[in-house]
Structure 1
Amino acid sequence: MKLYSTKREAPEVTLKEAVFRGLPQDNGLYMPEHIGTLPQSFFDHIEELNFQEIAFEVSKALLGDEIPEDKLKEIVDDAINFEAPVRHVHDNIYSLELFHGPTLAFKDFGARFMSRLMSYFLTEDEELHILVATSGDTGSAVAQGFLGVPGIKVTILYPSGKVSHIQEQQLTTVGQNVQAFEVEGTFDDCQRMVKEAFLDKELSQKLRLSSANSINISRLIPQSFYYFNAYAQLKRQGKDKVVFCVPSGNFGNLCGGLIAKRMGLPVIRFVAATNVNDVVPTYLNTGVFSPRPSTATISNAMDVGNPSNFPRIRELYDQSFEAETTDILGKHYTDQQTKETIHTVFDRADYIMCPHSAIGYMGIKEYLDELDDEAVAGIFLSTAHAAKFGDVVEPIIDAPVEIPERLVEIVNREKVAELIAPDFEVLKQKLLNI
């Protein structure tokens, strides 16, 4: 498996090099030189396979001969050891629940797969430093995914006051080889500082840095798995015409779906739904991509003003706007619409959604209403458990959200995080002194 930079000013690398480097030297993003297509026989019988079997077949097709099959199967089985069920909400709308992992968010898939991939490639005498920016769930998933992994240190940057209390507790109470910095700024500031760190020559000489954000290609690979698995679940119910709506921030999740489609998954269309940080929906509707500072919303993990995976989307479609808009429809929604939807769906279907999942629901419902075809099943990605946003959700539905047992204990732990300015030089000195 060879990977190239989207800017095409850096040399091609192996999977191992791409996973450890994170970003190419030219500040582009790594992309597979070739994305293999799965045979039709795989889709003809996909409903007969379980999640782990599907993930193994997809990973084999993507990774080629980079990892021996027996080792790859061990990685997949260990990383993907929880389910991602498709739940019927009402009519022809379904929720793909991606919050059944350790931290109750979809980021568990990417973080667990990445940590095991890195552990496989890492030799005993090597030390790696993971640097990651988070708008909420990435940090906690990375913290849990890499907790206690020998030879790996983890530093997490998150925006002060812009993640939920439970999210903050999940990423600041881990300890051991995981350290958190609370940045007095936005997620975009955190992301910018991480990118500057990877391009800094002094840091590169003294630390072996790698990223666990969705800019790392090993995060995207497992995010394709659950699209195939969702299709298999609906096919068991006699439904094989599907549309996915992906609530989006950095657009890594959508990239995973687009890769799945490139590999042959028969998806009619994708709806890319955002909150008021609608840079990509605006692009899909106008052809103009205009990044801007992010705006804080109740769907905080999607508060991204310059989505880092956007170049990958363009690359998948050879920079063709017409091809992109054939497959992807952009939608965006306000906080007020999000609140009304959480309330309405709870009343109608007794189904509780987090603010991010609610945006996915709105996108799929609007699309299906416009399509008016009862044969099509609409699946929205439910990206996090509503309990992680109980302070937002409970007043809306006027009912308590049950907190899973594994979260209860975390809530009362002591937070350990250092407050820093949104200044790369400050971060640099902290990293050099770790």
Structure 2
Amino acid sequence: MELYSTKHQVENVSLKEAIFKGLPADNGLYMPVEIPTLPPAFFDTIETRSFQEIALEVAKTLIGLEIPDNVLTEIVNDAINFDAPVKPVHDNIHVLELFHGPTLAFKDFGARFMSRLMSYFLQKDHQEINILVATSGDTGSAVAQGFLGVPNIHVYILYPKGKVSKIQEQQLTTNGQNITALEIEGTFDDCQRLVKEAFLDTQLNEKLNLTSANSINICRLIPQSFYYFYAYAQLKAKGKPVVVAVPSGNFGNLCGGLIAQKMGLPIRHFVAATNANDIVPAYLASGIFQAKPSVKTFSNAMDVGNPSNFPRMLALHDDAYEQVKANISGKAYTDEETVQTIQKIYQQTGYLLDPHGAVGYLGLKDYLTSLDEEVNGVFLATAHPAKFIDVVETAIENKVEIPELLAQVLNKPKEAIAMAPEFERLKSFLLNK
């Protein structure tokens, strides 16, 4: 698998190099030089295959010969060992539940796959690495669990103080071992900026061998394509075109779907649904991308004011605005609309949404009303409602049962290092570790 930088100012690299570099030296993002398509026979029988069988076929096609088949089979079967069911909500609207992994969020797919792939390369080369990751919520906990105890890897998680839910904070600050949580006095954008600056700092990289586990790392996007294929397999028998709505923040999840589409998956259209951080919907309306400071919302994992994966979204459409606009619709929603939707859907159908899934539902429902044809609509539920228990319980005026996996972390002591959002502070801390 050969990858290029979206800024086209450095040489192409292998998958192994891209995974461990995280970012190219020109501050672009790695993308596959070629995205191969799957044969028609694969789609003819996709509904007969298990999730793991689908994931393995997609991974082998995309990655190529860089990973031996037996190793890749073991990685996929170990990383993707939980379900991603499509469930009906009402009418022609369905939900793809991505919260059945160990941290009850979709980030488990990327983190678990990446940790096992990195471990394979590191053990083979007898190397050690340090991972820096910025999180607005679920990435941190998924990375912490995905990499916990993995040999030759230390993880530093940067999260914004007071801007993640209590359960999310417990999940990413109670691990110990090879996981260190850094509580940054700022926003997610500050955390993301610090990580990017670290990757571009020569001294840090020479001493620490840095890489990232954010969606800026191409290895996160590969497994995020798997569940789009699996969702299609579950909906295929209904015999209608498929439209997918993605609750979006940093836009890695949507790019995973776009990669799947490039590989031949027949998704008719995407909807990028955001909260008040509406940078991409504004771009889709105007053709102008204008980053701005992020604002805090109930759907905090989407509180991103400068989406890192936007260049990938463009690259997947040949950097052509008209292509992007034809393939993706965008809409932003307020916290009030989010809460009202959680309440309404629960009362009318009994289905319980989290704030992110509610935004995805709204985006899908609004788009479907503009169509004059019958389609199967599916929105992504990216986290379990219990991870946002205060918002959800207020919305439905009822108690939410906390899954055992979450209950286990609530009483553990928090371990986090407070830090100002200043790069020199971060650099000094890392160099002295």
> Would you say same fold, with TM above 0.5?
yes
Q: CA deviation at 1:385?
A: 0.1
Aligned counterpart, 1:228? 229
Q: Which amino acid aligns with 1:126?
A: Q
**Can you list the C-alpha shifts for 1:346-377, whole angstroms capped at 9, x where unaligned?**
0111011110000000001111111143x311
Which range is displaced more, 39-48 or 123-132? 123-132
Q: How does 1:89-128 map to 2 (within 5 A)?
A: 89-123=89-123, 125-128=126-129
Q: How does 1:63-102 map to 2 (within 5 A)?
A: 63-102=63-102
Tell me, in whole angstroms, the C-alpha distance in 1 between the residues paired with 2:344 and 2:38. 40
Q: Which amino acid aligns with 2:227?
A: Y
Aligned counterpart, 2:420? 421
Query: Which 4+ runs in 1 deviate beyond 3 A?
Result: none
Which range is displaced more, 402-411 or 179-188? 402-411
Q: Which amino acid aligns with 2:381?
A: S
Aligned counterpart, 2:137? 136
Contact kept, 8 Å, 1:231 with 1:240, in 2: the verdict is no
Tell me, in whole angstroms, the C-alpha distance in 2 between the residues paired with 1:208 and 1:40. 42
Q: CA deviation at 1:125?
A: 3.0
Aligned counterpart, 2:384? 385
- CA distance 1:121–1:218, shift in 2 (3 Å): same
Q: How does 1:168-247 map to 2 (within 5 A)?
A: 168-235=169-236, 237-247=237-247
Tell me, in whole angstroms, the C-alpha distance in 1 between the residues paired with 2:301 and 2:238. 34
**Can you list the C-alpha shifts for 1:36-83, whole angstroms capped at 9, x where unaligned?**
000111111100101000000100110011111111111111100000
Tell me, in whole angstroms, the C-alpha distance in 2 between the residues paired with 1:163 and 1:118. 27
Aligned counterpart, 2:281? 281
Q: How does 1:397-416 map to 2 (within 5 A)?
A: 397-416=396-415
- CA distance 1:240–1:117, shift in 2 (3 Å): farther
Contact kept, 8 Å, 1:110 with 1:218, in 2: the verdict is yes
Q: CA deviation at 1:205?
A: 1.1
Unaligned runs of 5+ in 2: none
Q: Which amino acid aligns with 1:221?
A: I
Tell me, in whole angstroms, the C-alpha distance in 2 between the residues paired with 1:238 and 1:388. 32
Q: Which amino acid aligns with 2:20?
A: F
Tell me, in whole angstroms, the C-alpha distance in 2 between the residues paired with 1:145 and 1:253. 18
1:162 equivalent in alignment to 2:163: yes
TM-score normalized by structure 1? 0.99
Tell me, in whole angstroms, the C-alpha distance in 2 between the residues paired with 1:72 and 1:369. 42
Aligned counterpart, 1:44? 44
1:264 equivalent in alignment to 2:264: yes
**Can you list the C-alpha shifts for 1:96-129, whole angstroms capped at 9, x where unaligned?**
0000000000000000000001011113631110
Q: Which amino acid aligns with 1:180?
A: A
Unaligned runs of 5+ in 1: none
Percent sequence identity is: 66
Q: Which amino acid aligns with 2:316?
A: L
Q: CA deviation at 1:406?
A: 1.2
Tell me, in whole angstroms, the C-alpha distance in 2 between the residues paired with 1:318 and 1:171. 37
Q: Which amino acid aligns with 2:363?
A: G
Tell me, in whole angstroms, the C-alpha distance in 1 between the residues paired with 2:58 and 2:106. 18
SS at match of 1:214: coil
Q: Which amino acid aligns with 1:232?
A: A
SS at match of 2:132: strand
Q: CA deviation at 1:239?
A: 3.2
SS at match of 1:259: helix
Aligned counterpart, 1:318? 318
Q: CA deviation at 1:315?
A: 0.7
